[in-house]
Structure 1
Amino acid sequence: MTNKGIILLAASLLFSKINTAQDLTGSWKGSLSINGNSLPLIFNLSRTGTEWTSTFDSPAQNAFGISTSSTTLMNDSLVIQIPLINGSYRGKWNGTDSINGIFQQGNFKAAMALGKTIQVKDPKANLLRPQTPQPPFDYIIENVTYNNKEGSVQFGGTLTLPKNKKDFPTVILISGSGSQDRDGTIFDHKIYWVIADYLTKAGIGVLRVDDRGIGKTSLGLSANKLTSEDFANDVEAGLSYLKSRNDINPAKLGLIGHSEGGMIAPMVAARNKNVAFITLLAGPGVPGYEIWNGQMRRNFIKPNLNAEDYTIASDLVNKMNAQFRFSTSADTIKKKMEAVYADWKLSHSTIDENKLFLAAGIHPYKTLVNQFASGLAWLQYFLNYEPFENLSKVKVPVLAINGSYDIQVLADENISGIEKALKKAGNKKYEVKIIPSLNHLFQTAQNPEQSYGSIEESFAPMALEKISNWILSLYK
């Protein structure tokens, strides 16, 4: 699963016209304290005529040139809305070289002063994204909208269909966790567009959809209470839409789910008879809390500890993060964490926390609660989700592939879990595969730690070929 705590920001920055606003042009740098570490953030402001625009950088996360949105400057007050992370920055400009304000993400708030700085050069600025589809396109492209059955959400997406073909299979792409556009845009990669382009050229229809609150898809009701179950219902709305079209065969509808999407696809397939097949890309095969604990141990514990120290450190991390399973109240979770931390300290009074953890003390855990405050219902559902329950009911054909370099959804244990469940289901047509040297986004990486943004490849051709050939083989 992608880490919702990581700050990835997007959209366009527009400022109202004031006479002295030209002094705002340039780069403005501040820093946040995240889990005891300093995270530098930079806004780069420029103006064309009366219109102001901006890009946003998070150098420590290899994120550069990201656009921002819904920003205004009234007199000396700057307000930047960042819907992608449910965040904002509000500050007062001193008229010359500093802006003092508050950065907010969900219920997490922190003071952040911005000062004039030199724009940081993107180290990957000269990298290409050679797989990003380019016109002309030899297939049908249609931007579509449809609603869920309650009428509470309107979905916006792109449907690509093969030209001059009939009776072809069609799939819905289901995104991973976090708010993503229909193209799966991350670090200038257009992951889901690349997949859709390849599959449609091969003769497979593809519907890719903006996530709730992104692009042309509305957020709907009770945003803080949304879980994967709601997103599974969203997928079923997409199936109903595809079934309503006379140019699509309703007997050949499938799902391709990436990461959390690989958890949602079996949820839908286990209960909806309109699903003819599913493909799971880095989908979970073990309980959510096991995946989460592994990710959090990587985030909190220093690398290269000996076995004894790692066990002691893991005991704290696992117990602290387990509190997210039992409540959706931030205050309750923090109180439970305080009790767990006190017990651990009492049992390990001679341990030097600085030796074990990237940041010592309870503060990093409370910061994590704040960062997830607007998504605690989603997190609780994920942590308590058992993939086996739905996978063991799936009878339709299944392809499950993971990359050996995936450090978010570990390949061996999750592929093993998926296969065990499908055997329990008595599924007669499934394939599981671990592809060497691919990371969580299915890029060919030099090592498991290589950052996504530093890789030119958006999605490994061997994985694209495997997905395409497998789907088409179902209908030979």
Structure 2
Amino acid sequence: MPRPPRADTDAGPCPGFDRPTVSSRRRSAVRLIVLTLLIAGLAAGTPTSPAAAAPVLTESEVTFRGDGVELSGTVLAPAGGGRRPGIVLVTGAGPGPRDDHRAEAEAFARAGVVTLIYDKRTRGYSLTERDYTVLANDALAGVRLLRGRTDVDPTQVGLWGHSEGTWVGEDAASRSSDVAFLVLLGASGVPPLQQQVWSTGESIRYAGAGGSLADRLPAAIYGLLTTAGGFAEPYFDPVPRLARIQIPVLAIWGEHDTSSPPAESAAILARAVRGNGNANVTLRTLAGGQHDGRTTTDGFDEGAEFAAPYPDMVGTWVTSREPGPDDPAPRQARPSTPVTPTPLWLQLTAPALMLLAALAYLLIAALRRFRGRTRPPLRAPARLLGVAGPLAVLGPLTYGFVGIIGTQDVGPVLAGRAVVWSVMQVLAAAVVAATIWLLAGLWRARQSVGPTDRARLSLLAASGVAFVPWALEWGLLL
């Protein structure tokens, strides 16, 4: 292939044109430089379009008195004069530092809404203790703070709540005329215990496991936690509060919300609010959105960006507060189920009896062997029950609290079943078989078994009988 001509040859850059002379090239270069500088100067002198420039925000640190505590927060506001709408952001479950929702706060402020974010109280709020009425009082104190600002229209201050914060916002809005509107993101229309059991079941299924592990264990483990006092506000019912709300409501769910039952919650919310004569309710679904409004592919992964058009839709709606047509309901494969926990004493009877009977049998057997006495009667079924029984009751408790609640890991899954859970189900089946075997042996040998052996074997058999309904509730025999 011939090389291209050099710059100093007579060949022109394009066929049919003469190559420019050196002087003409210099003049062209000068003209180009002058033209470039002129364009740059004009661009610098032309004012930027207001729509293209990001609005300037002001930021101020504030403190205010909540329900018996001093709370700290940040107010973000658009620069400039005039009174604007205001909104107080109420975080979901957890410690709730103000920066958790700073991205939303900045977006709302850029849309022209003065926004307060604040640190959740630390006193009276923990895994085992919280009161949504007290938290609502804190939020209302934030509303009063905004209503007192010179850049806020006191008649246009509302609340925004996410997840657990929606229950707080609903309670506040149902009790105070200071709240002008309510925005809800990821609201649950069912009580916290029912919502948590549903969400945990969805997580287990997402891990590839199913069956009784997903259908029964979440209700059993959270039911036990509730009766032991380890689950705060388990039966909080949002419906009566929703029915009292007579202000504009914007309710938003992610299409792939796996924390609150979204389709079910949307229907409950619409029925409760509209059923009492409030027609200003708008339901929105974020395509490709998660529980917190960020992007997701399946509800369990989470992107860094918000799903469009959130949060811009909030700023637009707050300005007009006009109702619009409802979006199609979010996806929800399975409904949630009401949870009625078994009383604590009954929950603990079977495990306690099993551990006591097994320990007594094994200790007496070891003592008997040490003394060189004769082999005890019905040794095989009794030993099987004495060893498998404690494992069958301690295993699910440990797996439930440590694996399901603690690390949220079901472990290895084979053919749609969690391997650890399958092992526990085998142990449960062994306990039932050993119980039947032992009862049958006691009946056959009722004339030959001495009173001491009969007593300890009967206690062991009774623990096996008590184990059956407990194991059914926990899903071990399903």
Q: TM-score range by the shorter chain?
A: 0.5 to 0.7
Paired amino acid for 2:197: N
Taking a change above 3 Å as real, the CA distance of residues 143 and 312 of structure 1, as seen in their structure-2 partners, is: closer
Question: Which of 310, 316, 322 pairs up with 1:463?
Answer: 310
* Larger helix fraction of residues: 2
Cα distance in structure 2, aligned partners of 1:155 and 1:273: 22
Q: How far has the Cα of 1:468 moved from its partner?
A: 1.2
The gaps in structure 1 that reach 5 residues or longer are 1-134, 185-191, 214-218, 329-375
Superposed, 1:78-97 pairs within 5 Å as none
Superposed, 1:98-113 pairs within 5 Å as none
Deviations 1:405-442 (A, max 9, x none): 11111321111111111122211211012222101121
The two structures have a TM-score, normalised by structure 2, of 0.52
Q: Does the CA-based 8 Å contact 1:411-1:434 persist in structure 2?
A: no
Superposed, 1:30-49 pairs within 5 Å as none
Question: Which of 197, 204, 209 pairs up with 2:106?
Answer: 197
Cα distance in structure 1, aligned partners of 2:250 and 2:319: 12
Deviations 1:106-147 (A, max 9, x none): xxxxxxxxxxxxxxxxxxxxxxxxxxxxx9971221111112
Taking a change above 3 Å as real, the CA distance of residues 463 and 302 of structure 1, as seen in their structure-2 partners, is: closer
Cα distance in structure 2, aligned partners of 1:245 and 1:320: 48
Answer with 1 or 2: which has the greater Rg: 2
Counterpart of 1:39 in structure 2 is none
Counterpart of 1:129 in structure 2 is none
Cα distance in structure 1, aligned partners of 2:152 and 2:78: 11
Cα distance in structure 1, aligned partners of 2:206 and 2:54: 50
Paired amino acid for 1:286: V
Cα distance in structure 2, aligned partners of 1:223 and 1:413: 26
Cα distance in structure 2, aligned partners of 1:224 and 1:147: 24
Superposed, 1:62-461 pairs within 5 Å as 138-148=56-66, 150=68, 153-184=69-100, 192-213=101-122, 219=123, 225-299=129-203, 303-304=207-208, 310-311=211-212, 314-328=215-229, 376=230, 379-381=231-233, 383-450=234-301, 452=302, 455-457=303-305, 459-461=306-308
Taking a change above 3 Å as real, the CA distance of residues 209 and 432 of structure 1, as seen in their structure-2 partners, is: same
Taking a change above 3 Å as real, the CA distance of residues 141 and 327 of structure 1, as seen in their structure-2 partners, is: same
% identical aligned pairs: 25
* Larger strand fraction of residues: 1
Taking a change above 3 Å as real, the CA distance of residues 426 and 324 of structure 1, as seen in their structure-2 partners, is: farther
Compare 278-287 and 244-253 and name the one that shifted more.
244-253
Cα distance in structure 1, aligned partners of 2:129 and 2:99: 25
Cα distance in structure 2, aligned partners of 1:313 and 1:428: 38
Q: Does the CA-based 8 Å contact 1:173-1:208 persist in structure 2?
A: yes
Q: Does the CA-based 8 Å contact 1:145-1:154 persist in structure 2?
A: yes
Paired amino acid for 1:139: L
Taking a change above 3 Å as real, the CA distance of residues 461 and 314 of structure 1, as seen in their structure-2 partners, is: closer
The gaps in structure 2 that reach 5 residues or longer are 1-52, 324-478
Q: Does the CA-based 8 Å contact 2:57-2:79 persist in structure 1?
A: yes
Cα distance in structure 1, aligned partners of 2:71 and 2:264: 34
3-state SS of 2:289 partner:
coil
Cα distance in structure 2, aligned partners of 1:140 and 1:475: 28
Counterpart of 1:474 in structure 2 is 321
Q: How far has the Cα of 1:474 moved from its partner?
A: 2.6
RMSD over aligned CA atoms reads: 2.7
Cα distance in structure 2, aligned partners of 1:432 and 1:174: 19
3-state SS of 1:380 partner:
coil
User: What is the count of residue pairs matched by the alignment?
Assistant: 271
Q: How far has the Cα of 1:199 moved from its partner?
A: 1.4
3-state SS of 1:143 partner:
strand
Q: Does the CA-based 8 Å contact 1:174-1:265 persist in structure 2?
A: yes
Q: Does the CA-based 8 Å contact 1:175-1:258 persist in structure 2?
A: yes
Paired amino acid for 1:387: P
Paired amino acid for 2:287: P
